[in-house]
Structure 1
Amino acid sequence: MTGLVHAATPTVRLVTLEYPPYIQTSDGSLDGVAVRVVRQTFAKLGYDVEIEVLPWARALYQVRTGLADGIFTIFKTSEREAFLDYSQQVLFQQGIRFVHRPDVSLSEDAIQSFNFGAYSVCVINQVSYGSRMDAALAQNQFDQVFRLTRAPQCLRMLESGRARLWLSNHFGARALVNQLDMKDVVEINPHPIEDTPSYIAFSKAQELSALRDQFDQALADMKATGEYQAIINDFFND
Protein backbone atom coordinates (compact mmCIF):
# COMPACT_ATOMS: atom_id res chain seq x y z
CA MET A 1 0.00 0.00 0.00
CA THR A 2 1.23 3.51 -0.67
CA GLY A 3 0.25 4.64 2.83
CA LEU A 4 2.46 5.20 5.89
CA VAL A 5 3.63 1.64 6.52
CA HIS A 6 5.35 2.48 9.83
CA ALA A 7 2.51 4.51 11.30
CA ALA A 8 0.51 3.17 14.23
CA THR A 9 -2.61 3.59 12.10
CA PRO A 10 -2.19 2.57 8.45
CA THR A 11 -3.21 5.07 5.78
CA VAL A 12 -5.04 4.44 2.53
CA ARG A 13 -4.37 6.98 -0.22
CA LEU A 14 -7.40 7.74 -2.40
CA VAL A 15 -7.93 10.03 -5.36
CA THR A 16 -11.15 11.63 -6.54
CA LEU A 17 -12.49 14.67 -8.36
CA GLU A 18 -14.45 17.75 -7.30
CA TYR A 19 -18.05 16.57 -7.68
CA PRO A 20 -20.53 18.27 -5.32
CA PRO A 21 -22.30 17.15 -3.26
CA TYR A 22 -20.41 13.83 -3.31
CA ILE A 23 -16.95 15.42 -3.08
CA GLN A 24 -16.57 19.13 -2.44
CA THR A 25 -13.96 21.53 -1.10
CA SER A 26 -15.09 24.40 1.11
CA ASP A 27 -12.69 26.89 2.75
CA GLY A 28 -9.82 24.51 2.08
CA SER A 29 -11.54 21.59 3.82
CA LEU A 30 -12.63 18.46 1.97
CA ASP A 31 -16.18 17.27 2.59
CA GLY A 32 -19.05 15.69 0.72
CA VAL A 33 -21.49 12.88 1.31
CA ALA A 34 -19.25 10.33 -0.45
CA VAL A 35 -16.21 11.54 1.48
CA ARG A 36 -18.04 11.01 4.77
CA VAL A 37 -19.18 7.49 3.87
CA VAL A 38 -15.72 6.44 2.65
CA ARG A 39 -13.92 7.86 5.68
CA GLN A 40 -16.32 6.22 8.13
CA THR A 41 -16.08 2.85 6.38
CA PHE A 42 -12.29 2.86 6.52
CA ALA A 43 -12.38 4.07 10.14
CA LYS A 44 -14.31 0.92 11.03
CA LEU A 45 -11.46 -1.09 9.49
CA GLY A 46 -8.83 0.82 11.48
CA TYR A 47 -7.47 2.91 8.59
CA ASP A 48 -6.83 6.61 8.18
CA VAL A 49 -7.66 8.00 4.75
CA GLU A 50 -5.70 10.52 2.70
CA ILE A 51 -7.83 11.92 -0.13
CA GLU A 52 -6.50 14.04 -2.99
CA VAL A 53 -8.81 15.88 -5.38
CA LEU A 54 -7.41 15.76 -8.93
CA PRO A 55 -8.52 16.22 -12.53
CA TRP A 56 -10.25 12.97 -13.47
CA ALA A 57 -7.68 11.85 -16.07
CA ARG A 58 -4.85 12.29 -13.56
CA ALA A 59 -6.80 10.45 -10.86
CA LEU A 60 -7.28 7.48 -13.20
CA TYR A 61 -3.58 7.53 -14.08
CA GLN A 62 -2.61 7.36 -10.41
CA VAL A 63 -4.69 4.25 -9.67
CA ARG A 64 -3.68 2.64 -12.97
CA THR A 65 0.01 2.99 -12.10
CA GLY A 66 -0.33 2.29 -8.38
CA LEU A 67 0.55 5.81 -7.23
CA ALA A 68 -2.79 5.79 -5.39
CA ASP A 69 -4.50 2.91 -3.62
CA GLY A 70 -8.05 3.64 -4.73
CA ILE A 71 -10.50 5.97 -6.43
CA PHE A 72 -14.11 7.04 -5.85
CA THR A 73 -16.85 7.63 -6.95
CA ILE A 74 -16.35 5.79 -10.21
CA PHE A 75 -18.61 4.13 -12.76
CA LYS A 76 -17.77 0.60 -13.87
CA THR A 77 -16.49 -0.06 -17.39
CA SER A 78 -14.69 -3.05 -18.89
CA GLU A 79 -11.69 -0.86 -19.70
CA ARG A 80 -11.34 0.28 -16.09
CA GLU A 81 -11.83 -3.24 -14.72
CA ALA A 82 -8.52 -4.12 -16.39
CA PHE A 83 -6.63 -2.09 -13.79
CA LEU A 84 -9.13 -1.69 -10.93
CA ASP A 85 -10.65 -4.04 -8.36
CA TYR A 86 -14.17 -2.68 -7.95
CA SER A 87 -16.13 -2.99 -4.73
CA GLN A 88 -19.15 -5.25 -4.90
CA GLN A 89 -21.15 -2.86 -2.74
CA VAL A 90 -22.54 0.16 -4.57
CA LEU A 91 -21.23 3.33 -2.98
CA PHE A 92 -24.04 5.47 -4.45
CA GLN A 93 -26.73 5.14 -7.05
CA GLN A 94 -26.19 8.34 -9.02
CA GLY A 95 -29.51 9.04 -10.60
CA ILE A 96 -31.49 11.61 -12.52
CA ARG A 97 -34.76 12.72 -10.96
CA PHE A 98 -37.52 15.21 -11.64
CA VAL A 99 -38.07 17.98 -9.11
CA HIS A 100 -41.47 19.66 -8.94
CA ARG A 101 -43.96 21.38 -6.67
CA PRO A 102 -46.08 19.12 -4.44
CA ASP A 103 -49.20 19.94 -6.46
CA VAL A 104 -47.66 18.49 -9.65
CA SER A 105 -48.60 14.85 -10.19
CA LEU A 106 -46.07 12.74 -12.07
CA SER A 107 -46.57 8.99 -11.78
CA GLU A 108 -44.03 6.21 -12.13
CA ASP A 109 -45.94 5.00 -15.21
CA ALA A 110 -45.58 8.41 -16.88
CA ILE A 111 -41.85 8.40 -16.15
CA GLN A 112 -41.32 4.85 -17.39
CA SER A 113 -43.29 5.50 -20.57
CA PHE A 114 -41.65 8.91 -21.11
CA ASN A 115 -45.09 10.50 -21.41
CA PHE A 116 -44.19 14.15 -20.79
CA GLY A 117 -46.31 16.04 -23.31
CA ALA A 118 -48.32 17.84 -20.62
CA TYR A 119 -45.27 19.16 -18.75
CA SER A 120 -42.88 22.05 -19.16
CA VAL A 121 -39.35 21.33 -17.95
CA CYS A 122 -36.29 23.32 -16.94
CA VAL A 123 -32.83 21.93 -17.77
CA ILE A 124 -29.27 23.21 -17.64
CA ASN A 125 -27.93 23.98 -21.08
CA GLN A 126 -25.36 21.49 -22.44
CA VAL A 127 -25.86 19.04 -19.54
CA SER A 128 -26.53 15.39 -20.37
CA TYR A 129 -29.36 13.62 -18.53
CA GLY A 130 -28.78 10.17 -20.03
CA SER A 131 -29.33 8.95 -23.58
CA ARG A 132 -33.11 8.44 -23.36
CA MET A 133 -33.83 11.77 -21.71
CA ASP A 134 -31.44 13.63 -24.00
CA ALA A 135 -33.35 12.19 -26.96
CA ALA A 136 -36.72 13.17 -25.44
CA LEU A 137 -35.50 16.74 -24.99
CA ALA A 138 -34.07 16.90 -28.50
CA GLN A 139 -37.33 15.56 -29.96
CA ASN A 140 -39.46 18.13 -28.09
CA GLN A 141 -41.41 15.52 -26.14
CA PHE A 142 -42.24 18.13 -23.47
CA ASP A 143 -44.80 20.90 -23.65
CA GLN A 144 -41.96 23.43 -23.30
CA VAL A 145 -38.24 23.24 -22.51
CA PHE A 146 -36.44 26.04 -20.65
CA ARG A 147 -32.66 25.81 -21.10
CA LEU A 148 -30.90 27.86 -18.44
CA THR A 149 -27.33 28.20 -17.20
CA ARG A 150 -27.72 27.69 -13.43
CA ALA A 151 -29.71 25.24 -11.34
CA PRO A 152 -31.05 27.83 -8.85
CA GLN A 153 -32.79 29.53 -11.78
CA CYS A 154 -34.70 26.31 -12.46
CA LEU A 155 -35.79 26.10 -8.83
CA ARG A 156 -37.10 29.65 -8.99
CA MET A 157 -39.04 28.76 -12.14
CA LEU A 158 -40.72 25.93 -10.24
CA GLU A 159 -41.49 28.27 -7.36
CA SER A 160 -43.13 30.79 -9.68
CA GLY A 161 -45.00 28.11 -11.63
CA ARG A 162 -43.37 29.02 -14.96
CA ALA A 163 -41.96 25.47 -15.22
CA ARG A 164 -43.60 22.34 -13.88
CA LEU A 165 -40.51 20.12 -13.79
CA TRP A 166 -36.76 20.44 -13.26
CA LEU A 167 -34.31 17.71 -14.27
CA SER A 168 -31.36 17.17 -11.94
CA ASN A 169 -28.89 14.79 -10.41
CA HIS A 170 -30.69 13.44 -7.33
CA PHE A 171 -28.20 14.43 -4.63
CA GLY A 172 -27.29 17.66 -6.39
CA ALA A 173 -30.95 18.64 -6.27
CA ARG A 174 -31.26 17.60 -2.65
CA ALA A 175 -28.26 19.71 -1.64
CA LEU A 176 -29.51 22.78 -3.50
CA VAL A 177 -33.06 22.49 -2.19
CA ASN A 178 -31.66 22.41 1.36
CA GLN A 179 -29.22 25.25 0.67
CA LEU A 180 -31.99 27.51 -0.63
CA ASP A 181 -34.40 26.39 2.12
CA MET A 182 -37.03 25.23 -0.39
CA LYS A 183 -37.98 21.88 1.16
CA ASP A 184 -41.52 23.18 1.71
CA VAL A 185 -41.74 24.54 -1.84
CA VAL A 186 -40.61 21.61 -4.01
CA GLU A 187 -40.11 17.88 -3.75
CA ILE A 188 -37.86 15.36 -5.48
CA ASN A 189 -39.84 12.71 -7.33
CA PRO A 190 -39.05 9.28 -5.81
CA HIS A 191 -39.16 7.45 -9.14
CA PRO A 192 -35.82 7.29 -10.96
CA ILE A 193 -35.48 8.23 -14.60
CA GLU A 194 -32.11 6.55 -14.83
CA ASP A 195 -29.78 5.30 -12.09
CA THR A 196 -26.10 4.55 -12.58
CA PRO A 197 -24.23 2.76 -9.77
CA SER A 198 -20.94 4.26 -8.66
CA TYR A 199 -18.27 2.57 -6.60
CA ILE A 200 -14.96 2.76 -4.87
CA ALA A 201 -12.27 0.79 -6.72
CA PHE A 202 -8.76 -0.26 -5.77
CA SER A 203 -5.56 -0.28 -7.79
CA LYS A 204 -4.69 -3.75 -9.08
CA ALA A 205 -1.08 -2.61 -9.19
CA GLN A 206 -1.20 -2.43 -5.39
CA GLU A 207 -2.86 -5.88 -5.05
CA LEU A 208 -5.52 -4.66 -2.63
CA SER A 209 -8.32 -7.13 -3.34
CA ALA A 210 -8.28 -8.24 0.32
CA LEU A 211 -8.77 -4.65 1.45
CA ARG A 212 -11.54 -4.30 -1.13
CA ASP A 213 -13.31 -7.29 0.40
CA GLN A 214 -12.96 -5.84 3.91
CA PHE A 215 -14.36 -2.52 2.70
CA ASP A 216 -17.31 -4.31 1.10
CA GLN A 217 -18.17 -6.12 4.33
CA ALA A 218 -17.91 -2.97 6.43
CA LEU A 219 -20.07 -0.97 4.00
CA ALA A 220 -22.65 -3.77 3.83
CA ASP A 221 -22.81 -3.80 7.63
CA MET A 222 -23.29 0.00 7.69
CA LYS A 223 -26.16 -0.28 5.24
CA ALA A 224 -27.77 -3.07 7.26
CA THR A 225 -27.61 -1.14 10.55
CA GLY A 226 -28.84 2.14 9.06
CA GLU A 227 -25.54 3.93 9.66
CA TYR A 228 -24.99 4.47 5.93
CA GLN A 229 -28.36 6.23 5.53
CA ALA A 230 -27.77 8.21 8.73
CA ILE A 231 -24.52 9.63 7.30
CA ILE A 232 -26.40 10.73 4.18
CA ASN A 233 -29.23 12.29 6.20
CA ASP A 234 -26.79 14.07 8.53
CA PHE A 235 -24.90 15.52 5.57
CA PHE A 236 -27.99 17.03 4.01
CA ASN A 237 -29.29 18.28 7.35
CA ASP A 238 -26.03 20.10 8.18
Structure 2
Amino acid sequence: MPDFTRLIAALLLTCLSALAHGEKLRIVTEPWAPYVYVEEGQAKGFDYEVTVEVFKRLGVELDWQFLPWKRCLAMVDQGLADGILDIFQTEERRKQLFYPNEPLSDVEFVLFYANARPHSVNSLADLRGLTVGTSPGYAYASAFSESPLFTREPAPTHEANFGKLQRGRIDLLITDRRVGRYLSKNLGLEQQVSELPLVVSRQSQYLAVRRSTGMEVLMQRFAAELRRFKSEPAYAALNARYAGVGDNFRSTVEQQERSTP
Protein backbone atom coordinates (compact mmCIF):
# COMPACT_ATOMS: atom_id res chain seq x y z
CA MET A 1 0.00 0.00 0.00
CA PRO A 2 1.52 3.39 -0.95
CA ASP A 3 2.46 5.68 1.94
CA PHE A 4 -0.14 8.28 0.92
CA THR A 5 -2.90 5.67 0.88
CA ARG A 6 -1.81 4.42 4.31
CA LEU A 7 -1.94 7.97 5.65
CA ILE A 8 -5.44 8.54 4.28
CA ALA A 9 -6.66 5.26 5.74
CA ALA A 10 -5.10 6.05 9.14
CA LEU A 11 -6.70 9.49 9.27
CA LEU A 12 -10.09 8.08 8.39
CA LEU A 13 -9.79 5.33 11.00
CA THR A 14 -8.78 7.90 13.62
CA CYS A 15 -11.88 9.96 12.89
CA LEU A 16 -14.32 7.06 12.62
CA SER A 17 -12.94 5.14 15.60
CA ALA A 18 -13.69 8.07 17.88
CA LEU A 19 -17.21 8.23 16.49
CA ALA A 20 -17.61 4.49 16.93
CA HIS A 21 -16.89 4.80 20.67
CA GLY A 22 -20.03 6.73 21.45
CA GLU A 23 -18.81 10.09 20.15
CA LYS A 24 -21.48 11.04 17.68
CA LEU A 25 -20.81 13.64 15.01
CA ARG A 26 -22.35 16.83 16.37
CA ILE A 27 -24.15 18.74 13.63
CA VAL A 28 -25.87 22.10 14.04
CA THR A 29 -28.26 23.85 11.69
CA GLU A 30 -31.10 26.34 11.64
CA PRO A 31 -34.58 25.22 10.55
CA TRP A 32 -34.71 26.15 6.85
CA ALA A 33 -37.81 24.42 5.53
CA PRO A 34 -38.19 22.59 3.23
CA TYR A 35 -34.46 21.72 3.35
CA VAL A 36 -34.32 21.02 7.10
CA TYR A 37 -36.98 21.62 9.77
CA VAL A 38 -38.80 20.14 12.75
CA GLU A 39 -42.47 19.24 12.51
CA GLU A 40 -44.37 17.83 15.49
CA GLY A 41 -41.07 17.01 17.18
CA GLN A 42 -39.75 15.14 14.14
CA ALA A 43 -36.73 16.40 12.19
CA LYS A 44 -37.22 16.23 8.43
CA GLY A 45 -36.43 18.01 5.19
CA PHE A 46 -34.72 17.11 1.93
CA ASP A 47 -31.13 18.00 2.90
CA TYR A 48 -31.58 16.63 6.40
CA GLU A 49 -32.81 13.24 5.19
CA VAL A 50 -30.13 12.98 2.52
CA THR A 51 -27.44 13.74 5.10
CA VAL A 52 -28.81 11.18 7.56
CA GLU A 53 -28.88 8.50 4.86
CA VAL A 54 -25.32 9.19 3.65
CA PHE A 55 -23.86 9.09 7.16
CA LYS A 56 -25.85 5.95 7.93
CA ARG A 57 -24.11 4.28 4.98
CA LEU A 58 -20.76 5.48 6.33
CA GLY A 59 -21.57 4.05 9.77
CA VAL A 60 -21.48 7.46 11.48
CA GLU A 61 -24.07 8.35 14.14
CA LEU A 62 -25.26 11.94 14.37
CA ASP A 63 -26.25 14.28 17.18
CA TRP A 64 -28.40 17.17 15.88
CA GLN A 65 -29.04 20.60 17.32
CA PHE A 66 -31.39 23.18 15.77
CA LEU A 67 -30.36 26.73 16.64
CA PRO A 68 -30.32 30.28 15.23
CA TRP A 69 -27.83 30.51 12.38
CA LYS A 70 -25.35 32.87 14.05
CA ARG A 71 -25.26 30.51 17.05
CA CYS A 72 -24.58 27.58 14.70
CA LEU A 73 -21.63 29.39 13.15
CA ALA A 74 -20.27 30.32 16.58
CA MET A 75 -20.54 26.74 17.88
CA VAL A 76 -18.54 25.35 14.97
CA ASP A 77 -15.97 28.14 15.32
CA GLN A 78 -15.60 27.42 19.05
CA GLY A 79 -15.33 23.66 18.56
CA LEU A 80 -18.68 23.00 20.28
CA ALA A 81 -20.03 21.34 17.11
CA ASP A 82 -18.33 19.18 14.49
CA GLY A 83 -20.36 20.15 11.45
CA ILE A 84 -22.98 22.50 10.09
CA LEU A 85 -25.75 21.70 7.61
CA ASP A 86 -26.83 23.84 4.64
CA ILE A 87 -23.96 26.29 4.65
CA PHE A 88 -22.70 28.21 1.63
CA GLN A 89 -19.06 28.28 0.60
CA THR A 90 -17.15 31.51 1.02
CA GLU A 91 -13.42 32.16 0.96
CA GLU A 92 -13.46 33.04 4.65
CA ARG A 93 -15.40 29.93 5.65
CA ARG A 94 -13.08 27.63 3.68
CA LYS A 95 -10.28 28.72 6.05
CA GLN A 96 -12.25 27.26 8.97
CA LEU A 97 -14.22 24.38 7.45
CA PHE A 98 -13.76 21.35 5.23
CA TYR A 99 -16.33 21.14 2.44
CA PRO A 100 -17.14 18.06 0.35
CA ASN A 101 -16.89 18.57 -3.41
CA GLU A 102 -20.54 17.58 -3.82
CA PRO A 103 -23.37 19.95 -2.75
CA LEU A 104 -26.59 18.85 -1.13
CA SER A 105 -28.86 21.33 -2.93
CA ASP A 106 -29.01 24.68 -4.71
CA VAL A 107 -30.91 27.77 -3.63
CA GLU A 108 -32.08 30.97 -5.29
CA PHE A 109 -32.34 34.16 -3.25
CA VAL A 110 -35.30 36.29 -4.30
CA LEU A 111 -37.21 39.23 -2.86
CA PHE A 112 -40.70 39.09 -1.34
CA TYR A 113 -43.04 42.07 -0.91
CA ALA A 114 -46.41 42.73 0.71
CA ASN A 115 -49.20 42.91 -1.86
CA ALA A 116 -50.56 45.99 -0.07
CA ARG A 117 -47.24 47.77 -0.74
CA PRO A 118 -45.93 46.45 -4.07
CA HIS A 119 -42.50 47.27 -5.47
CA SER A 120 -41.18 46.79 -8.99
CA VAL A 121 -37.57 45.64 -8.84
CA ASN A 122 -35.71 44.61 -11.97
CA SER A 123 -32.20 45.18 -10.60
CA LEU A 124 -30.52 46.03 -7.30
CA ALA A 125 -30.48 49.68 -8.36
CA ASP A 126 -34.28 49.67 -7.99
CA LEU A 127 -33.85 49.06 -4.25
CA ARG A 128 -32.57 52.61 -3.74
CA GLY A 129 -33.93 54.08 -0.50
CA LEU A 130 -35.73 50.89 0.55
CA THR A 131 -35.26 48.64 3.60
CA VAL A 132 -34.75 44.92 2.96
CA GLY A 133 -35.16 42.32 5.71
CA THR A 134 -32.25 39.87 6.04
CA SER A 135 -31.23 36.98 8.30
CA PRO A 136 -28.19 37.34 10.60
CA GLY A 137 -25.12 35.35 9.58
CA TYR A 138 -26.37 34.53 6.08
CA ALA A 139 -23.98 35.03 3.16
CA TYR A 140 -25.63 36.92 0.31
CA ALA A 141 -24.07 38.04 -2.96
CA SER A 142 -21.50 40.79 -2.36
CA ALA A 143 -23.34 43.13 -4.75
CA PHE A 144 -26.34 42.87 -2.43
CA SER A 145 -24.50 42.84 0.91
CA GLU A 146 -22.21 45.78 0.10
CA SER A 147 -24.58 48.04 -1.83
CA PRO A 148 -24.90 51.56 -0.31
CA LEU A 149 -28.19 52.18 -2.11
CA PHE A 150 -30.50 50.52 0.42
CA THR A 151 -30.73 49.45 4.04
CA ARG A 152 -30.38 45.84 5.20
CA GLU A 153 -32.26 45.12 8.43
CA PRO A 154 -31.80 41.72 10.12
CA ALA A 155 -34.51 39.85 12.00
CA PRO A 156 -33.99 37.04 14.54
CA THR A 157 -35.97 34.50 12.50
CA HIS A 158 -37.34 34.03 9.00
CA GLU A 159 -40.86 34.12 10.45
CA ALA A 160 -40.11 37.45 12.10
CA ASN A 161 -39.05 38.86 8.74
CA PHE A 162 -42.40 37.93 7.21
CA GLY A 163 -44.17 39.52 10.18
CA LYS A 164 -42.23 42.76 9.68
CA LEU A 165 -43.04 42.68 5.96
CA GLN A 166 -46.75 42.20 6.66
CA ARG A 167 -46.78 45.10 9.16
CA GLY A 168 -44.89 47.45 6.83
CA ARG A 169 -41.77 47.67 9.00
CA ILE A 170 -39.63 46.67 6.02
CA ASP A 171 -40.23 47.15 2.29
CA LEU A 172 -39.00 43.75 1.12
CA LEU A 173 -37.31 40.67 2.48
CA ILE A 174 -34.74 38.37 0.90
CA THR A 175 -34.74 34.61 1.29
CA ASP A 176 -34.50 31.42 -0.72
CA ARG A 177 -37.40 31.01 -3.14
CA ARG A 178 -38.61 27.65 -1.77
CA VAL A 179 -38.12 28.71 1.85
CA GLY A 180 -40.18 31.86 1.25
CA ARG A 181 -42.96 29.93 -0.43
CA TYR A 182 -43.03 27.34 2.35
CA LEU A 183 -43.19 30.01 5.07
CA SER A 184 -45.79 32.16 3.34
CA LYS A 185 -48.03 29.12 3.05
CA ASN A 186 -47.52 27.96 6.64
CA LEU A 187 -47.98 31.47 8.04
CA GLY A 188 -51.22 31.91 6.07
CA LEU A 189 -49.75 34.75 3.99
CA GLU A 190 -50.05 33.30 0.49
CA GLN A 191 -52.61 35.91 -0.52
CA GLN A 192 -50.77 38.75 1.21
CA VAL A 193 -47.20 38.45 -0.08
CA SER A 194 -45.63 37.83 -3.47
CA GLU A 195 -42.15 37.18 -4.80
CA LEU A 196 -40.34 39.18 -7.44
CA PRO A 197 -38.86 37.43 -10.50
CA LEU A 198 -35.39 38.93 -9.94
CA VAL A 199 -32.88 36.32 -8.72
CA VAL A 200 -30.40 38.13 -6.48
CA SER A 201 -28.03 35.15 -6.32
CA ARG A 202 -27.78 31.39 -6.75
CA GLN A 203 -25.70 29.31 -4.36
CA SER A 204 -25.09 25.69 -3.44
CA GLN A 205 -25.67 24.34 0.06
CA TYR A 206 -23.29 21.91 1.74
CA LEU A 207 -22.64 19.96 4.87
CA ALA A 208 -19.28 21.24 6.16
CA VAL A 209 -17.16 20.20 9.15
CA ARG A 210 -14.57 21.97 11.26
CA ARG A 211 -10.90 21.52 10.43
CA SER A 212 -9.58 18.75 12.68
CA THR A 213 -7.85 15.39 12.30
CA GLY A 214 -9.62 13.02 9.92
CA MET A 215 -12.40 15.44 8.98
CA GLU A 216 -11.13 16.20 5.48
CA VAL A 217 -11.05 12.49 4.67
CA LEU A 218 -14.52 12.09 6.15
CA MET A 219 -15.78 14.79 3.77
CA GLN A 220 -14.19 12.98 0.82
CA ARG A 221 -16.01 9.81 1.83
CA PHE A 222 -19.22 11.79 2.36
CA ALA A 223 -18.98 13.32 -1.14
CA ALA A 224 -18.37 9.95 -2.79
CA GLU A 225 -21.31 8.34 -1.00
CA LEU A 226 -23.54 11.35 -1.71
CA ARG A 227 -22.80 11.08 -5.44
CA ARG A 228 -23.56 7.36 -5.30
CA PHE A 229 -26.85 7.98 -3.47
CA LYS A 230 -27.87 10.64 -6.02
CA SER A 231 -27.74 8.00 -8.78
CA GLU A 232 -30.15 5.66 -6.99
CA PRO A 233 -33.97 5.36 -7.13
CA ALA A 234 -34.17 6.08 -3.38
CA TYR A 235 -32.75 9.56 -3.95
CA ALA A 236 -35.14 10.20 -6.84
CA ALA A 237 -38.06 9.15 -4.61
CA LEU A 238 -36.93 11.49 -1.84
CA ASN A 239 -36.50 14.33 -4.30
CA ALA A 240 -39.99 13.71 -5.70
CA ARG A 241 -41.47 13.76 -2.18
CA TYR A 242 -40.07 17.23 -1.51
CA ALA A 243 -40.34 18.59 -5.05
CA GLY A 244 -43.71 20.24 -4.43
CA VAL A 245 -43.01 21.44 -0.88
CA GLY A 246 -42.92 25.21 -0.95
CA ASP A 247 -43.54 25.39 -4.70
CA ASN A 248 -47.28 25.99 -4.55
CA PHE A 249 -47.30 29.76 -4.68
CA ARG A 250 -49.24 31.98 -7.09
CA SER A 251 -49.71 31.21 -10.78
CA THR A 252 -49.03 34.83 -11.70
CA VAL A 253 -45.59 34.56 -10.13
CA GLU A 254 -44.86 31.35 -12.01
CA GLN A 255 -45.82 33.04 -15.26
CA GLN A 256 -43.51 35.96 -14.48
CA GLU A 257 -40.62 33.59 -13.79
CA ARG A 258 -41.11 31.68 -17.01
CA SER A 259 -41.05 34.91 -18.98
CA THR A 260 -37.90 36.21 -17.28
CA PRO A 261 -34.76 35.81 -19.46
TM-score range, shorter chain: 0.5 to 0.7
Q: Residue 213 and residue 125 in structure 1: after superposition, are their counterparts in 2 closer, same or farther (change >3 A)?
A: closer
> What residue number does 1:211 align with?
222
In the alignment, structure 1 residue 200 sits paired with structure 2 residue 216: no
Report the Cα distance in structure 2 between the residues aligned to 1:37 and 1:183, rounded to whole angstroms. 29
Q: CA deviation at 1:200?
A: 1.4
Once the two structures are superposed, residues 56-107 of structure 1 have per-residue CA deviations (whole angstroms, 9 ceiling, x without a partner) of 23324549xxx84x43222324565467542222223344311244x96857
In the alignment, structure 1 residue 231 sits paired with structure 2 residue 237: no
Answer yes or no: is the 8 Å Cα contact 1:73–1:198 preserved in 2.
yes
Q: Secondary structure at the match of 1:88?
A: coil
Answer yes or no: is the 8 Å Cα contact 2:76–2:84 preserved in 1.
yes
Once the two structures are superposed, residues 121-140 of structure 1 have per-residue CA deviations (whole angstroms, 9 ceiling, x without a partner) of 5533786754323454x425
Q: Secondary structure at the match of 1:71?
A: strand
Q: Residue 71 and residue 212 in structure 1: after superposition, are their counterparts in 2 closer, same or farther (change >3 A)?
A: farther
> What residue number does 1:175 align with?
182
Q: CA deviation at 1:30?
A: 3.8
Report the Cα distance in structure 2 between the residues aligned to 1:167 and 1:33, rounded to whole angstroms. 24
Report the Cα distance in structure 2 between the residues aligned to 1:214 and 1:95, rounded to whole angstroms. 25
Match of 2:75 among 58, 69, 81: 58
Map 1:70-149; keep pairs closer than 5 Å.
70-78=83-91, 80-81=93-94, 84-100=97-113, 101=115, 110-111=122-123, 114-116=124-126, 123-124=132-133, 130-136=141-147, 138-140=148-150
* Percentage identity across paired residues of the two chains: 15
TM-score scaled to structure 2, two decimals? 0.57
Answer yes or no: is the 8 Å Cα contact 2:185–2:246 preserved in 1.
no
TM-score scaled to structure 1, two decimals? 0.62
Which structure 1 segments of 5+ residues have no match?
none
Report the Cα distance in structure 2 between the residues aligned to 1:25 and 1:225, rounded to whole angstroms. 22
Map 1:2-21; keep pairs closer than 5 Å.
2-4=18-20, 13-21=25-33
Match of 1:152 among 162, 184, 189: 162
Which structure 2 segments of 5+ residues have no match?
1-15, 249-261
Q: CA deviation at 1:48?
A: 6.3
Name the Cα RMSD after superposition: 4.6
Answer yes or no: is the 8 Å Cα contact 2:77–2:96 preserved in 1.
no
Q: Secondary structure at the match of 2:239?
A: helix
Answer yes or no: is the 8 Å Cα contact 1:96–1:167 preserved in 2.
no
Q: Secondary structure at the match of 1:20?
A: coil
Report the Cα distance in structure 1 between the residues aligned to 2:77 and 2:154, rounded to whole angstroms. 32
Report the Cα distance in structure 2 between the residues aligned to 1:205 and 1:147, rounded to whole angstroms. 39
Q: 2:213 is matched by which residue type in structure 1?
A: A
Q: Residue 166 and residue 232 in structure 1: after superposition, are their counterparts in 2 closer, same or farther (change >3 A)?
A: farther
Q: 2:228 is matched by which residue type in structure 1?
A: Q
Aligned length: 214
Q: 2:182 is matched by which residue type in structure 1?
A: A
